[in-house]
Structure 1
């Protein structure tokens, strides 16, 4: 083979290698572009469908309450997502004024329990070193009574059943929190689940409920037993006598206001037809 043929052979080989390398480069470029497209698509899909965190309760942004307290509210309060009118009683289990208000509300509960619910907020000073985690005005017996009432409310089959329990306790006022058998007898007589009630009352659940209840009272800045709120608004106070009750303080007055405040889809009880909203109701958004 002469030199010219040798050079021609080398030239052809070089061209073949260039074509081969060009093909490899093209394939690499295509693969790189494909991977990039897949990564971009994946990122966009994640950005579009990722369940980003939901806004937290407004109170958290204000710093009014701790996160665990807000979470506990929704766990422990059966009315958190309810259409029912919330009646809050700020009370103490061994307070005569509380007993007086609860007696008035016995007629209210009987009449309009289908559109209302009750929340008990016990007035006490939190104290982690105290027997029940709080200092109650009338001693540990009152703390014990508070816990029993909270546990009965938590494990009630319905509101009238809880009210039967409450009236049973109040009928033995001097023994509230002192007679270990009284609460159990009242729970059984009212038709409560006595096993669940006892477990709550004697273990940490009851103390947690008392802590949350006292925090609710502090958060609302209520220190007088007995104070009544309807749907988060102050409605009336009984402290030796009734006052700050612009809408009245008879059972009928409370029934009227609860009927007026109810905005749910369930029909109102027939008794609501007997009452017309007052100017007081309209001004306060009831």
Structure 2
């Protein structure tokens, strides 16, 4: 009986070793953490979401990326937990809508496209984005309840506790490290940070050969800043 149990243990040990080794050979991707801290009515946040971040899903880069969107930006939280946004109440609303979209569709491949739709037309998004992507009841229910406030306060905590602290929006980090003025070059930075066993995404080869400098503009936190 003891011999039979020992044989089973040996068999299980070899099976686990085989599965572990097979995973290494297969090269399961090790995800690179890409975080975007933004606010909905900041034109530079809108540009990054619409024109730059879309590269993630229009290429094979998404397979090695763990994307996290954090809609709070330069907002402030008072002692009584009232949130005030840099661009007024409408921005607070759209930040909350973004938070509810992320809650409704946890998969970045789904909530990114809805948020991008909102950011492309912040005035008329309701007539087009719900029709295109759905989720209207879940997002409206989330927004009209206390859930949206809880979500925003959670994002506030993440944003305000950043180390090093956020200096402007959009604020982009790769594996927790801010890209500063090079945030629009996030593709190259993602490729550089990738340590997985699988081959690099094809976009990494093209981005290396097509590098170009772009004028960088950021939104400061100062009270006297106006768009």
TM-score tier, shorter chain, comes to: 0.5 to 0.7
The answer on whether the counterparts of 1:128 and 1:134 sit within 8 Å (CA) in structure 2 is no
**Is 1:261 aligned to 2:193, yes or no?**
yes
1:217 matched residue in structure 2: 159
TM-score (norm 1): 0.53
Classify 1:121/1:163 alpha carbon distance in 2 versus 1 (closer, same or farther; 3 Å): closer
Aligned to 1:199, the other structure's residue is in SS state helix
The answer on whether the counterparts of 1:110 and 1:160 sit within 8 Å (CA) in structure 2 is no
Q: How big is the alpha-carbon RMSD for the aligned residues of Structure 1 and Structure 2?
A: 2.8
Query: Which of structure 1's runs of 4+ aligned residues deviate more than 4 A?
Result: 264-268
Distance, in Å, in 2 between the alignment partners of 1:195 and 1:211 is 22
The answer on whether the counterparts of 2:179 and 2:186 sit within 8 Å (CA) in structure 1 is no
Q: 2:115 aligns with which of 149, 157, 166?
A: 166
Distance, in Å, in 2 between the alignment partners of 1:207 and 1:272 is 38
Distance, in Å, in 1 between the alignment partners of 2:117 and 2:187 is 23
Distance, in Å, in 2 between the alignment partners of 1:97 and 1:228 is 12
1:109 matched residue in structure 2: 57
1:230 matched residue in structure 2: 174
Q: 2:138 aligns with which of 196, 199, 216?
A: 196
Aligned to 1:110, the other structure's residue is in SS state coil
Distance, in Å, in 2 between the alignment partners of 1:215 and 1:121 is 11
Deviations along 1:50-70, one digit per CA (max 9) or x if unpaired, are xxxxxxxxxxxxxxxxxxxxx
Aligned to 2:169, the other structure's residue is in SS state coil
Deviations along 1:46-104, one digit per CA (max 9) or x if unpaired, are xxxxxxxxxxxxxxxxxxxxxxxxxxxxxxxxxxxx95322222211111111111121
Distance, in Å, in 2 between the alignment partners of 1:184 and 1:115 is 34
Q: 1:86 aligns with which of 13, 26, 33?
A: 33
1:217, CA displacement in angstroms? 1.4
Q: 1:127 aligns with which of 75, 78, 94?
A: 78
The answer on whether the counterparts of 1:97 and 1:226 sit within 8 Å (CA) in structure 2 is yes
The equivalences for 1:1-286 within 5 A come to 83-103=30-50, 104-111=52-59, 112-116=61-65, 117-123=67-73, 124-127=75-78, 129=80, 133-156=82-105, 158-173=107-122, 175=123, 182-183=125-126, 185-190=128-133, 192-220=134-162, 221-236=165-180, 244-245=181-182, 249=184, 253-264=185-196, 268-274=200-206
1:168, CA displacement in angstroms? 1.6
TM-score (norm 2): 0.65
Unaligned runs of 5+ in 1: 1-81, 237-243, 277-286
Aligned to 2:62, the other structure's residue is in SS state helix
The structure with more radius of gyration = 1
Aligned to 2:37, the other structure's residue is in SS state strand
Q: Using CA pairs under 8 Å that are at least 6 residues apart, name the structure with larger relative contact order, 1 or 2.
A: 2
The answer on whether the counterparts of 2:37 and 2:171 sit within 8 Å (CA) in structure 1 is yes
Distance, in Å, in 2 between the alignment partners of 1:163 and 1:203 is 22
